[in-house]
């Protein structure tokens, strides 16, 4: 069922550079139907349109610190870009020991697990945990967040991105190229999740502060939460 060529390799450097130029903003806006609906990421990037993947990566990368676990990592591009960005910085050692994890081997040297009910890592062993565009795809999402809380160090950071439920349901019906078309879809997967649901799940797992912001014209959401230093 899996197709190892599903993820489209490295996004071009210009697509990750922020802030975008005014010209790129205007071009992305004019090309919104192509980059948001009709074409896969790598084709948009060839047309110099910012792909949705590059939009996600560029909001998450600057927030990562220390040793990172990226859950639902796909081809492990986030961790690979993070490692490169950290060369010569205070995060270099942590970045080298950072990991991607997935239930499907998409070919990026991720840790492969059956599900996220129990993650194969020690308590308080990561500084950052990312769940980028995947919490909806994880049926065991309550356990995945509880495990994230367990393996995060005190003061560690949880980063989640998620599209809304309606846009996700419409989108997944149209996105002929999305990764869920190349693997078995599990019972309990959702095609998007509303922000209140995501915030409630994150808080329910024990995280203290949850800051929410939006990107891609308000259609995608970023959640940044902390594991309190007071956690017993």
Ligand X SMILES: C[S@@+](CC[C@H](N)C(=O)[O-])C[C@H]1O[C@@H](n2cnc3c(N)ncnc32)[C@H](O)[C@@H]1O
Give the residues lining the site for ligand X (CB under 6 A).
53, 56, 71-74, 102-104, 106, 115-116, 132-134, 137-138, 179
Which of 133, 201 has the CB closer to ligand X?
133
Which of 111, 231 has the CB closer to ligand X?
111
The label of the residue with tokens 């060529």 reads 5
User: How far is residue 191 CA from its own chain's centroid?
Assistant: 14
Q: What is the closest distance, in whole angstroms, from the C-beta atom of residue 124 to ligand X in the complex?
A: 21
Q: What is the closest distance, in whole angstroms, from the C-beta atom of residue 130 to ligand X in the complex?
A: 8
H helices of 41-194, where?
A: 41-46, 52-60, 77-86, 92-96, 141-151, 165-174
- Confirm if 27 and 48 have CB atoms less than 8 A apart: yes
Laid out side by side, the sheet with 68-71 consists of 111-112, 99-102, 68-71, 126-132, 152-163, 220-226, 210-215
Q: What is the closest distance, in whole angstroms, from the C-beta atom of residue 148 to ligand X in the complex?
A: 11
> What is the C-alpha to C-alpha distance for residues 228 and 47, in angstroms, rounded to an integer?
44
Which of 107, 195 has the CB closer to ligand X?
107
Which of 115, 208 has the CB closer to ligand X?
115
Which of 78, 210 has the CB closer to ligand X?
78
Q: What is the closest distance, in whole angstroms, from the C-beta atom of residue 115 to ligand X in the complex?
A: 5
Q: What is the closest distance, in whole angstroms, from the C-beta atom of residue 163 to ligand X in the complex?
A: 10
Instruction: Classify burial at 60, counting beta carbons within 10 Å of its beta carbon; exposed 0-12, middle 13-18, buried 19 or more.
Output: buried
């Amino acid at each position: 069922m899996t197709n190892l060529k599903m993820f489209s390799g490295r996004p071009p450097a210009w697509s990750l550079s922020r802030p975008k130029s005014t010209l790129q903003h205007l071009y992305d806006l004019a090309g919104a139907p192509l980059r948001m609906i009709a074409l896969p990421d790598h084709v948009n990037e060839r047309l110099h349109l910012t792909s949705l993947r590059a939009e996600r990566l560029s909001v998450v990368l600057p927030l990562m610190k220390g040793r990172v676990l990226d859950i639902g990592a796909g081809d492990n591009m986030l961790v690979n870009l993070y490692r490169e960005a950290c060369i010569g910085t205070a995060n270099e050692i942590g970045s080298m020991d950072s990991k991607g994890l997935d239930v499907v081997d998409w070919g990026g040297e991720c840790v492969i697990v059956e599900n996220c009910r129990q993650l194969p890592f020690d308590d308080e062993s990561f500084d950052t945990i990312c769940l980028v565009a995947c919490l909806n795809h994880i049926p065991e999402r309550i356990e995945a967040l509880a495990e994230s809380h367990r393996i995060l160090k005190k003061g560690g950071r949880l980063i989640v991105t998620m599209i809304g439920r309606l846009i996700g349901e419409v989108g997944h019906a149209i996105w002929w190229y999305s990764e869920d078309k190349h693997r078995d879809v599990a019972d309990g997967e959702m095609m998007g999740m509303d922000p209140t649901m995501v915030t409630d799940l994150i808080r329910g797992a024990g995280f203290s502060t949850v800051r929410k912001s939006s990107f891609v014209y308000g259609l995608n959401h970023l959640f940044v939460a902390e594991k309190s230093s007071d956690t017993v």
